Amino acid sequence: MKSLLKFLHNYKKESVLAPLFKLLEASFELFVPLVISKIIDVAIPSGNHSMIIKMGLILIGLALVGMVAAITAQFFAAKAATGFSSELREAVFSHIQTFDFTVIDKIGTSTLITRMTSDINQLQNGVNMVLRLFLRSPIVVFGAMIMAFTIDVKSALVFVVAIPLLAVVVFGIMLITMPLYKRVQGNLDKVLGHTRENLTGVRVIRAFRLEKKEFKDFEFDNRVLTKAQTSVARFSSLSSPLTYVIVNAAIIALIYIGGVKVNIGDLTQGQVVAIVNYMSQILVELVKFADLIVLITKAVACGDRVEAVLKTENADAALAVGGKNAGSQNHDETAGKVSDSNLPDDYIRFDHVSLKYADAGDETLTDMTFSVKKGETIGIIGGTGSGKTSLVNMIPGFYKATKGQVFLEGKPLDEYDDSELVSRVGMVPQKAVLFKGTVKSNLLWGNENATDDQLWKALDIAQATEVVKGKEGELDAVVEQSGKNFSGGQKQRLTIARALVGDPEILILDDSASALDYATDAALRKALAGIKDTTVFIVSQRASSIRNADKIIVLDDGAIAGIGTNEELLETCEVYREIYFSQYEN
């Protein structure tokens, strides 16, 4: 939590001025009982109307100055809190962008969303209220006690007993509720995850008529969250009544002691009223402080969760699946085994590479060893769950090898800067994703400086020219959120075009033509074959999509079952023959 305070660095002035103005407000408030005491003891008994008016004007003046100080403090506190949350949210978002897929899979998308929204909002509220009340409340409490001592020591001893009791209640509740609030936020992650899954998969749910089942599952998660919130609320709700009981008991004691002292002439009525007012001020401030402690408890719990994201590095995932240096150590052990394949014309080389997802039981990929020459077209095929997507996701560094090494131009991927590596790779994932905007704004993701001619060239290769020209505005045609105003095949072609706009050295098509008809798929492959010096990886379930590739890699249950051309594999690889002849007549 402490490390998050650096995001207040640019708001030092506001962070100092906000509590200072609150202290100014509190100082004026402490003089109010003394003025009232003066009115009761001097002005009223003597019938001095001018003094009453004068004291009344002083009270109004104190109120006005206090109000101005309070508004100014609120302004500075709000500015600091919103600036803090803005910078923190930006830092968290930027840090998440550096995560490889292993870390994202391990933490979970719904948790990351909760921590960037709900948790940071709680932190913003916490910072705001701390700047306004964290110093004000103690100053009023101890200031009121000191002022009471200036009036009467014996009566003020009630404060000495009451304040420690109140501190025990407030901080005791804080210690109990802090871990409970962490549990609440964890349950909120689950509810958010379930909600996100249902909203994105609503068509599938309705197609199978499972709305009732999903509602029951959501209701269960919601009940768990409600139970956790109720549990923490029970403890938090004790704060105000216990505070009221202690303070009101203290007021009763003060009235009793004050009454006795007034009778014997040791205190005046005005002094008793002043002491009771000071105790009432303490009551109000401690109720506020109790609420503040609850808010701080929530904020600290949320801050720990946000801090955990900022402290998470990609190395943590490697550590979780075999040690920080597992990959490099294994490379040292296995480098000699593949020295013959380390030829000068090797462009990409997998050197006994294995991949194991964080917290997974078994390896997803095992002992991947092959090399690729620059400009080759590589087909990757295999059954569902054989590891095709995992394999190609290692090339741009989305997943790190847990054993072995991946080389690009003879240099390990780990030695490349992430931005340099990604800039050389054009990736078209399985799920075609478009972003709200226009066709042009989506294509410019590939290269923000691309000209219209370059965009049309990429669209032509991707067989998407007809799609765009058929839309009103063409390149300026509107793309709705997630590209829902385009069909599946249209989105796939546009995402391929987006990757081509960047003129990548390596183009990865991860089953990205599955929604295309055979004629369009064939035209796309023919157009891609005409691109010079680009190494193309085509992941597909269709044998027709990869049969003409320079090299085909056949995967079976995370291992290489065969490597070669279509003709070679038909002769030597049983797995490939089964796939091929299941799609073509023998």
Residue 145's domain is classified under what CATH number?
1.20.1560.10
Residue 471's pLDDT is 87
CB hemisphere CA count around 245 (13 angstroms): 7
101 residue type, one letter: F
Q: Are residues 200 and 129 in the same domain?
A: yes
Q: Are residues 329 and 346 in the same domain?
A: yes
Domain boundary among 289, 312, 335: 312
Q: Are residues 53 and 147 in the same domain?
A: yes
The arithmetic mean of pLDDT across residues 119-132, rounded, is: 90
- Tens-place pLDDT, residues 504-547: 899 999 888 777 888 888 888 888 888 888 899 999 888 888 88
- How deeply is 384 buried, as exposed, middle or buried, from its count of CB atoms within 10 A (0-12, 13-18, 19+)? exposed
Output the 3-class SS for 87-135. Answer: HHHHHHHHHHHCCCHHHHHHHCHHHHHHHHHHHHHHHHHHHHHHHHHHC
The arithmetic mean of pLDDT across residues 284-298, rounded, is: 78
CA proximity to 275, closest of 160, 157, 155: 155
DSSP SS3 for 542: coil
Number of domains in the chain: 2
Look up the pTM and report it.
Answer: 0.65
Distance CA 276, CA 254 (A): 7
CA proximity to 148, closest of 40, 283, 275, 280: 275
Angle, in degrees to the nearest 10, between helices 239-264 and 269-311: 160
- Tens-place pLDDT, residues 421-437: 888 888 888 888 888 89
Q: Are residues 297 and 326 in the same domain?
A: no
Q: Are residues 103 and 52 in the same domain?
A: yes
Q: Are residues 304 and 323 in the same domain?
A: no
Q: Domain containing 500: what range? A: 319-583
Residue 561's domain is classified under what CATH number?
3.40.50.300
Residue 372's pLDDT is 93
Q: Are residues 367 and 251 in the same domain?
A: no
Residue written as tokens 């072995």? 404
DSSP SS3 for 51: helix
Residue 552's pLDDT is 94
Q: Are residues 308 and 334 in the same domain?
A: no
- Tens-place pLDDT, residues 51-68: 888 888 998 998 899 899
Q: Are residues 244 and 328 in the same domain?
A: no
The arithmetic mean of pLDDT across residues 24-45, rounded, is: 84
**Do residues 101 and 393 make contact, with C-beta atoms less than 8 angstroms apart?**
yes
Residue 71's pLDDT is 92
Q: Are residues 414 and 444 in the same domain?
A: yes
Q: Are residues 63 and 123 in the same domain?
A: yes
- Taking residue 493's Cβ as centre, other Cβ atoms within 10 Å add up to 29
Domain boundary among 260, 282, 312: 312
- Tens-place pLDDT, residues 135-190: 888 888 888 888 888 888 888 788 788 878 887 887 787 778 878 877 887 788 78
Q: Are residues 272 and 366 in the same domain?
A: no
